[in-house]
Amino acid sequence: MKILIVGSGGREHALAWKISQSPRVKQVYIAPGNGGTCHSEKIKNISITDINDLADFAGEKNIYMTVVGPEVPLSNGIVDIFRSKNLKIFGPTKNAAKLESSKDFAKEFMVRNNIPTAKYSTFTDSSMAKLYVLKEQLPIVIKADGLAAGKGVVIAQTIEEAYNAIDDMIGDNKNLLKKVVIEEYLVGEEASFIVMSDGRNIFPLATSQDHKRLKDGDNGPNTGGMGAYSPASLVTPDLHRKIMKEVIIPTIEGMSKEGNIFTGFLYAGIMIGANGSDKWVKTLEFNCRMGDPETQPIMMRINSDFMDVLEHAINGTLDKAEIKWNEKVALGVVLAAYNYPEKPRIGDEITQLPTEKEDIMIFHAGTISSNETLKTNGGRVMCVTALGDSVKKAREKAYNTISKINFEGMQYRKDIGWRAIK
How far is 192 from 250, CA to CA, in rounded Å? Answer: 17
Range of the domain at 31: 2-93
* Same domain, yes or no: 155 and 200: no
pLDDT tens digits, one per residue of 132-172: 999 999 999 999 998 876 568 899 999 999 999 999 998 87
Contact 227, 381 (CB under 8 A): no
Domain assignment present for 106: no
For residue 259, what are the contacts with CB-CB under 8 A and spacing of at least 6?
none
* Same domain, yes or no: 168 and 193: no
* Same domain, yes or no: 160 and 240: no
Domain assignment present for 244: yes
What pLDDT score does 357 carry? 87
* 74-78 long-range contacts, CB within 8 A, separation 24+: 74/100, 74/101, 74/264, 74/288, 74/289, 75/100, 75/101, 75/147, 76/51, 77/51, 78/6, 78/51, 78/54
* Same domain, yes or no: 47 and 135: no
* Same domain, yes or no: 226 and 314: yes
What pLDDT score does 375 carry? 97
pLDDT tens digits, one per residue of 352-399: 888 888 899 999 999 999 888 999 999 999 999 999 999 999 999 999
* Same domain, yes or no: 395 and 312: yes
Q: Rounded mean pLDDT of the chain?
A: 95
Q: Is the pLDDT of residue 346 over 70?
A: yes
Q: Is the pLDDT of residue 288 over 90?
A: yes
What pLDDT score does 149 carry? 62
Confidence of residue 327 (pLDDT cuts 50, 70, 90): very high
What pLDDT score does 356 carry? 82
Q: Is the pLDDT of residue 191 over 90?
A: yes
Contact 142, 168 (CB under 8 A): no
Phi, psi dihedrals of residue 101, rounded to the nearest 5°: -70, -15
* Same domain, yes or no: 128 and 262: no
* Same domain, yes or no: 71 and 156: no
CA distances (Å), 230 to each of 37, 69, 215, 283, in order? 23, 19, 20, 19
Which of 93, 111, 133 lies at the terminal end of a domain, its last residue? 93
pLDDT tens digits, one per residue of 68-100: 999 999 999 999 999 999 999 999 999 999 999
Domain assignment present for 337: yes
Domain assignment present for 228: yes
* Same domain, yes or no: 157 and 293: no
What pLDDT score does 370 carry? 84
Which of 93, 108, 135 lies at the terminal end of a domain, its last residue? 93
CATH code where residue 160 lies: 3.30.1490.20
What pLDDT score does 276 carry? 74
Question: What does pTM read for this prediction?
Answer: 0.94
Q: Is the pLDDT of residue 313 over 70?
A: yes
Confidence of residue 62 (pLDDT cuts 50, 70, 90): very high
Please choose, from the candidates 382, 401, 297, the residue with its C-alpha nearest in 3D space to the C-alpha of residue 336.
Answer: 382
What pLDDT score does 174 carry? 63
How far is 416 from 420, CA to CA, in rounded Å? Answer: 9
Number of domains, the chain = 3
86: number of CA atoms within 13 Å, CB side? 2
* Same domain, yes or no: 246 and 231: yes
The backbone region for 163, taken as left when phi is positive above 0, alpha when psi lies in -120 to 50, beta otherwise, is alpha
Confidence of residue 210 (pLDDT cuts 50, 70, 90): very high
* Same domain, yes or no: 293 and 164: no
What pLDDT score does 335 carry? 98
* Same domain, yes or no: 78 and 209: no
Please choose, from the candidates 7, 90, 86, the residue with its C-alpha nearest in 3D space to the C-alpha of residue 43.
Answer: 7
3-class DSSP state of 274 = strand
Contact 146, 69 (CB under 8 A): no
- What does the pLDDT average to over 25-47? 95
